[in-house]
Structure 1
Amino acid sequence: MNLRLLLFITLLLLQTQAFAQATVQGKVLDEKGLPLPGANIQIKGSYDGTTSEADGSFQFETENEGSHVLVFKFLGFKTQELPITLSPGSNEILPIKLIEEITEMNSVTISAGAMEASDESKSVILKPLDIVTTPSAMGDIMGAFQTLPGTSTVGNDGRLFVRGGDASEVGIYIDGMRVGNAYGTTAGNVPTRTRFNPNLFKGTFFSTGGYSSEYGQALSSALALNTKDLSVRSQGDLSIMSIGGGYSHTLANEKQSITASANYFNLGPYQGLIKQEVDFEAAPHGWDLELAAQKKVGKNGLLKVMARTESGGMSLWQPLPGSENRVLVDLKNDYSYAQANWRTILKKDWTVFAGISYSKNFDKINYDSLQVERQNELLHLKATAVKDFSDRLSAKFGVEQFLHPFSEKLIQEDWTRGYSDRESYLFTEWDYYLNKDLVFRAGLRGGRSSVSEEKWLDPRFSVAYQLHEQGQLSVAAGNFHQLPIENYRVLNMDLQNTASQHLILNYLFSKEGFTFRAETFYKSYDQLVTFEGLPESPEGLKNGGSGYARGIDFFFRDRETFKNTDYWITYSFVDSKRSFNQFQTEVQPSFAPKHNLSVVVKHFIAPLKSQIGASFIFNDGYSYTNPNLDNAEMNAKTKSFQNLSLSWSYLPKPNLIIHLACSNVLGRDNVFGYTYSPKTNSQGVFESIPQGQVAPRFLFLGIFLTLSKDKTANNLNNL
């Protein structure tokens, strides 16, 4: 009897306990309403919970009662908490929609017009090491970028020409600060180079159009070079080259580093051994001193300081068409550049930046009996603040001020002219991620010039959509303004901004070892500067020109298919016409060939401790005006430009590199145009002189030795 009573009481207690339990059930979905199987659901502070089924549904029982918090977790999505009140019986909750978490690793990035190389970039294009080892570049930054899509190689210039635009339409920045006169001053058909060593930089951002509102005063392109942070070790680097030499020394610890370098070059001995097509009275020569320092400031701050000074020159005899006479052109150049910038992360997801830079360029030019001195300065002040409101919304705010004095003087006449412009800018840019596959960017940049007394506003917009794991589609559009070059503004200070509009459609495919990029674009021009007469003595300057550029680019890079081999292939088609300068009709500019092809291959041979490289550059020729044909402008074209270059890098010891490179190894006679006599000869023909290469080939030999406690360190560690 007692046993029956005990069983009855036990069953009664079990039933009471069962009735006291609460059942929690519901469904977990994503933002699109699709089920999320495997999501974790748990009562906060308790072990009670479960995971969602294939259809997103879940159900579990708990003895908890009253107010509690239900926690939902799923990898790649934000954790969500839901307050609930539990009572015995069924507790059914409404479907829970989890929001996808957006990070740099899983989110789409805007790629229209942009080619980036940095430690953080998902699609690395050109690192400093690529620049140094591209055979046709000969260690020059712009020489390497001329192998990228959207660019044109103008062999007698050396600067960067992008999508039918003049080289002056490319804005160059170091750590976000504008660089004035980034190229060395040159004369005749002697190609110039950038002033800065690629070893200084850790990454690059090259935009062929539709670029950020942070950058302005460039109709075609923005090239942003980012210097290194703290150096990894103390070391010395000695370079001995066929054109000169230099030494660089670095002192570094965990909190700060400083690098000082000195270099000297003189092509005189080299030109004494190898015949030149140009008659140099004094070969190109020069020296430079450079300092770069970095220091950690506080917990998240970094201060960078950089300074450079250099001096150089050349002297050459320039032939005159239709005459046996020659003109002596003598050029001397002094240049200084300095900048400091500070960046830090503050509380509440704010990142701030402040910088100042100063450029000063002084040219002394003697052209026969004409003596000219030209001075160009640029002071740039800039501050930006970035706020991450969430992982979906961020904004950048910025303010800039430029002080830009320019003057030129005729020495014998003691006559000076010039101006001093103050340019002010405000800009903002907002990024909004609808989800990890779709991002919108809207920007606005406003500016004002004190000389032209003009104000302008540039709206810009971009959107990117992730098509699949490795592929994405981007669109960019916007307005861009640029004040005319100083040589024109000093003649007519009423000249207004030139203007351009960009529209770009981009497809990017990127996975480990492979990059494919296709981009089509349309660019319009308005308010271009036109004048009467020749560029050397323009008259009647005004904003009267217009034009367009349209085309398509392809870029493919493969570092996976062939062992120890890296290669990339670039093709660009550019259809560009504009009325500008002395041209009265819309013509194809001489700096905008229609078809541009480049192939770069590098292969490392481990047993020989060597890397061999080859690059081939081709375009279909340069347009020019031949007065012997008809009265039409740009009525002729040179033969195609072709340049096959080879290089060999040998590492006999870990700290010793021997590098040998030769450009145009086949000795092709490339012509870039013709200079014509202003009058006909006795046969009624305008005689001409071809604008050709300085020499059929250029040979470079360099020996680079690193001195440090780490015997395996070399210059490659800096790249």
Structure 2
Amino acid sequence: MKTKGQRLFFLISFLVFALGYSQVKISGKVMFRNKGVKEVNITLKDTYDGATTDAEGNYLFETTERGNHSLVFTHPKYNDIERAVLIGDHDLLINAELKEQINEIDAVVISAGSIEASDKKRATALLTPIDIYTTAGADGQISSALNYLPGVQKVGETEGLFIRGGTGTESKIFMDGSLINNYFSSSVPGIAGRDRFNTSLFKGNIFSSGGYSALYGQALSGALMLESVDLPDQSSYDFGISPIFLSAGFQKLGEDKTHSYGATLGYSLLNLMEEVIHFNTDFIEAPKGLNGDFNFRVKTKSGGFFKYYGMFDSNKMGVKSESLEPDQYDFALVRLKGRNTYHNLSFKQKFGKYLLNTGASYSFNRSDLNFSTETNDIESEKTQLLTDGNYINFKAVLERKINKISALRGGFEFNNTQEKLHFENSDKNYKDLISSIFAETDLGFSNRFSAKLGVRVEHSTFLDKSNIAPRLALAYRLSKDWTTSLAYGLFYQNPESKYINGPSQLDFQKSQHYIFQLQRSSEGRSLRLEAFYKKYDQLIKVKNLANIEGQSQPIQTADNNDGYGYAKGIELFWRDKKTIENIDYWISYSFLDSKRDFMNYPMSLKPSFASEHTLSLVAKRFIPKLKLGVNLSYTYSKGRPYYDIVTESINDQYYIRKEGSLKDYSALNLSVNYLPNLGKKDAKAFTVFVLSISNVLGNKNIYGYNFSMDGTRSSAVVPPVNTFVFIGAFISFGVDKTQDAINNNL
């Protein structure tokens, strides 16, 4: 019995020894750029043997396998590595150096000077359509909502995007790649035109306050690229009603869900609000307008996509103001009749590895202004300033992906302008064809480092000159959440056509942009810091051509390109959707130091449209239990400079007769949105009731001054109304947008 026990013990010991002897240890270290990588899976292919690296990148496992095998290293952010190994009776040391896996999700994005909001960038989107609708004080207008972003100045007396020390005409707006020549409605001096385009038409936008892509040109300061919606999810009918407008529209989706069409019609009239609210502006004819649009979208069998959008609008208004020359007349009167139409057709199609994007647009714009004076209730003969403009734009871009994060694109663009102006007994015909070719490449060297190189070449038939504009941008990821970007660009723009009233030797206006950005993005939070410097050359200088009775600003004509200037500054943007439940807020601050010698400036001056300090705060709170969204916005800007610039009769030279600074601008705005059918999962209608109050505190802001001929009298340029109240309802049948409202913190 003892002998059998000894034999059994000996047999077990032998098996244990043999089994231990047969185990081979495989170990090593996995690194990327000389640093250990944790959580890398190491597997002996076609076996269950393997391990995972520790925090320093080390691994160790044992195997009983023998012979030729493959050792596989895998990690989601790196390319898989497969190493051939020969397993014998000795332990193995196998180190590995990983290569970064290049992909669009992890790759650093170049964003110096630009802010993107789209379906693709939903996680970091800054101005989606519902953001714009729910920003108090924006009135549902894209351009007004941009005033709450850094770099954009609040200039209330005229339309346009005033970006980083640039005029409103130095920024351009594009739809599906095509230039929109008349984005804003016609208006009278001292009152800004409104957006002509419905915000819900667009699914996303890229706003560039500098250093924008070589695919776009003719903008010294910045560009706004709008992308229209594709096929709707389902058919719907929409209605809007308020004391100042009525609107109705529909979108019909085909049964095969490959095509859709739709139309809207709207009418606006301010008469009723004039009776309720005290206006600063004396309207002899209250603003009114009629607008409509039509669209269709078709997806072809080969994967192509057609989009068409056409619109028209007409508007009228008349304004009466007290005379600054009481010894000549009592009142100055100006009447406007505006008419506009715009059509845009775009097509995109993939051909193998190539993507073709083409677009064409046509617009016609008429501005019919009539000036007169009134003395002792007798109106003088009217002076007409009539402008007709026809604009055609065509653009084609061909793009080829090089790899997952690199691409090459190029194309050409034509922008044709024909304008006719009639004033008293004189007529002007202006024609220009700007032809452009461009090329651009995205170079993704790694997920941490990327570059964008571009060049644009333009030729103007009116100027009979050409230009070459290089663009460069770099981006580097400092850590998981922190990135930095640099951008440089050279930008050209023709002198504004309204100042070309006679023969002169003119050239392109020119600006150079230098931008540095530091950004931190994490879930629900975004922080952006930007510093920029812009250098202006060849800006136009003007001289007086004629005066219109009753108007303080004479007609001016371009004289030369001797103007110059600069703009530099620092900007901060912080947005937080995470810290406080159901509250989304953002803060933006801009510091701007800018000077220019251009137009009729007698020397280098701070522009009258540029404020040194601008601060904006936007906050949105959604209360699910009350079905209520409450939105606040506040804007402050330091008072802009103003100048009374006149000419000496002897040598026709400009000089400053009076100058100063406006009072600081500030406005607190409130809007409330109520969703009565919130929570009804089977709801077939979506309704929003809106109450909006701009400038709740009634601050009496001033945009500038007009001066009499002798400079002894002046009148302030002020908003048409200090505080405006809007009440309206928007109803959609056939589609329930409630969840969208909740998800976007309406």
The reply to whether TM is greater than 0.5 is: yes
Tell me how far apart the structure 1 counterparts of residues 248 and 599 of structure 2 sit (CA, whole Å): 44
- Between the aligned partners of 2:599 and 2:712, the Cα distance in structure 1 is 22
Aligned match of 2:407 in 395, 412, 416? 395
Cα distance in structure 1, aligned partners of 2:735 and 2:463: 57
Mapped contact 1:429–1:444 kept (Cα < 8 A): no
Q: Does 1:650 align with 2:653?
A: no
Classify 1:599/1:59 alpha carbon distance in 2 versus 1 (closer, same or farther; 3 Å).
Answer: closer
| Native 8 Å contact 2:439 2:454 kept in 1 | yes
Return closer, same or farther for 1:546/1:271 CA change in 2, 3 Å cut-off: same
Equivalent in the alignment of 1:687 = 713
Determine whether 1:258 maps to 2:261: yes
Give the counterpart of 1:384 among 366, 385, 397: 397
Give the corresponding residue for 1:450.
Answer: 461
1:674 has 2:700 as partner: no
SS at match of 1:538: strand
Distance 2:471 2:483 in 1: 20
Q: CA deviation at 1:548?
A: 0.4
Whether contact under 8 Å (1:378, 1:402) holds in the other structure is: no
Where does 1:427-576 land on structure 2 (aligned, <5 Å)? 427-434=439-446, 436-492=447-503, 494-533=505-544, 536-539=554-557, 541-576=559-594
Q: Is the 8 A contact 2:602 2:655 kept in 1?
A: no
CA–CA distance in 2 between the matches of 1:503 and 1:713? 42
Q: How does 1:229-628 map to 2 (within 5 A)?
A: 229-252=230-253, 254-298=257-301, 300-323=303-326, 324-348=329-353, 350-368=354-372, 369-391=382-404, 394-410=406-422, 413=425, 415-434=427-446, 436-492=447-503, 494-533=505-544, 536-539=554-557, 541-626=559-644
Paired with 1:301 and 1:540, the residues of 2 have a C-alpha distance of: 46
3-state SS of paired residue (1:652): coil
Q: How far apart, CA to CA, are the structure 1 residues paired with 2:278 and 2:38? A: 75
- 1:188/1:318 contact within 8 Å kept: no
CA distance in 1, matches of 2:351, 2:71: 33
Do 2:390 and 2:419's aligned partners in 1 also have CA atoms closer than 8 Å?
no
Aligned CA distance change for structure 1 residues 322 and 41 (closer, same or farther; 3 Å): same
2-side partners of 1:143 and 1:136: how far apart?
Answer: 8
C-alpha distance in 1 between matches for 2:26 and 2:91: 6
Aligned residue number for residue 664 of structure 2:
640
Q: C-alpha distance in 2, partners of 1:489/1:539?
A: 5
Counterparts of 1:496 and 1:288 in 2: how far apart (Å)?
38
- Cα distance 1:166–1:72, how it changes in 2: closer, same or farther (>3 A)? same
Aligned CA RMSD, in angstroms, stands at 3.3
Q: State the identity as a percent.
A: 32
Residue range with higher mean Cα deviation, 439-448 or 23-32: 23-32
Alpha carbons 1:619, 1:640 under 8 Å: kept? yes
Please tell me whether the aligned partners of residues 540 and 558 of structure 2 are also in contact (alpha carbons under 8 angstroms). Answer: no
Show the counterpart of 1:9. Answer: none
| CA displacement, residues 305-343 of structure 1 (integer Å, 9 cap, x when unaligned) | 211111112122244313243232121111111112223
Code of the aligned partner of 2:103 = T
Quick one: distance in 2 between partners of 1:386 and 1:397?
Answer: 4
Q: In the alignment, which residue of structure 2 is the partner of 1:3?
A: none
**C-alpha separation in 1, matches of 2:24 and 2:583:** 62
Deviation readout 1:467-492 (Å, 9 max, x if unpaired): 22222222111211111111124534
- CA shift at 1:401, angstroms? 2.1
The runs of 5 or more residues in structure 1 that have no matched partner are 1-14
Q: Give the drift of 1:132.
A: 0.9
Q: Is the 8 A contact 1:520 1:551 kept in 2?
A: yes
Residues 30 and 308 (structure 1), Cα distance of their counterparts in 2 relative to 1, 3 Å cut: farther
Give the superposition deviation at 1:712: 6.1
Residues 351 and 639 from structure 1, CA distance in 2 versus in 1: closer, same or farther, beyond 3 angstroms? Answer: same
Counterpart residue number, 1:12 = none
Query: CA–CA distance in 2 between the matches of 1:173 and 1:633?
Result: 40
Corresponding position: 1:705 with 2:717: no
- Structure 1 equivalent of residue 8 of structure 2: none
Q: State the alpha-carbon separation in 1 of the partners of residues 629 and 49 from structure 2.
A: 61
Distance in 2 between residues matched to 1:252 and 1:604, nearest whole Å: 31
Q: Distance in 1 between matches of 2:738 and 2:714?
A: 56
Give the Å deviation of 1:26. 8.0
Give the Cα–Cα distance (whole angstroms) in 1 for the partners of residues 152 and 366 of structure 2: 29
- Provide the rounded CA distance (Å) in 2 between the counterparts of 1:283 and 1:382: 40
Could you say what secondary structure the match of 2:535 adopts? Answer: strand
1:373 alignment partner, SS class:
strand
Q: Secondary structure at the match of 1:79?
A: strand
> Would the aligned equivalents of 2:156 and 2:703 in 1 still touch at CA under 8 Å?
yes
CA contact (8 A) 1:616 1:642 kept: yes
606 and 714 in structure 1: CA distance in 2 versus 1, 3 angstrom threshold: closer
Is the CA contact 1:386–1:394 (under 8 Å) kept in the aligned structure 2? no
For 2:362 and 2:31, how far apart are their aligned partners in 1?
A: 52
Q: Which amino acid aligns with 1:455?
A: S
AA matched with 1:215: Y
Query: Cα gap change, 1:38/1:525 in structure 2, threshold over 3 Å: closer, same or farther?
Result: same
When residues 72 and 266 of structure 1 are mapped into structure 2, their CA distance, relative to the original with a 3 A threshold, is same
The CA distance in 2 between the partners of 1:25 and 1:595, in whole Å, is 64
- Shift in CA distance, 489/426, structure 1 to aligned 2, threshold 3 Å: farther
Spell out, residue by residue over 1:492-515, the C-alpha distance to the aligned partner (whole angstroms, 9 max, x if none).
464211111111111212222222
Q: Which amino acid aligns with 1:450?
A: T
Mapped to 2, the partners of 1:556 and 1:648 lie a distance apart of 23
Q: What runs of 5+ residues in structure 2 fail to find an aligned partner?
A: 1-16, 373-381, 546-552, 647-653, 679-685
Cα gap change, 1:325 to 1:494, in 2 (>3 Å): same
What displacement does 1:81 show? 4.5
Equivalent residues of 1:142, 1:194 under 8 A apart: yes
Q: 1:125: how far off?
A: 1.0
| Deviation per residue, 1:539-569 (Å, 9 max, x gap) | 4611110000011111122222323222222
Cα deviation 1:336-382 (Å, max 9, x = unaligned): 1111222344434x333222222221222222332232122322222
- When normalised by structure 1's length, the TM-score is 0.89
CA shift digits 1:179-212 (9 cap, x unpaired): 1111111002222111111111111211111112
CA distance in 2 between counterparts of 1:552 and 1:692 reads 29
Please report how far the alpha carbon of residue 86 of structure 1 lies from its aligned counterpart in structure 2 after TM superposition: 5.4
Q: What is the aligned counterpart of 1:659 among 690, 694, 718?
A: 690
- Higher mean alpha-carbon deviation, 86-95 vs 271-280, is at 86-95
Q: Give secondary structure in 1 for the equivalent of 2:555.
A: coil
Gap change, CA 1:327 and 1:717, over 3 Å in 2 = farther
SS at match of 1:263: strand
SS at match of 1:451: coil
Give the Cα–Cα distance (whole angstroms) in 1 for the partners of residues 738 and 487 of structure 2: 45
Q: Label 1:77 to 1:468 Cα distance change in 2 as closer, same or farther (>3 A).
A: same
Q: Which moved more, 1:510-519 or 1:56-65?
A: 56-65
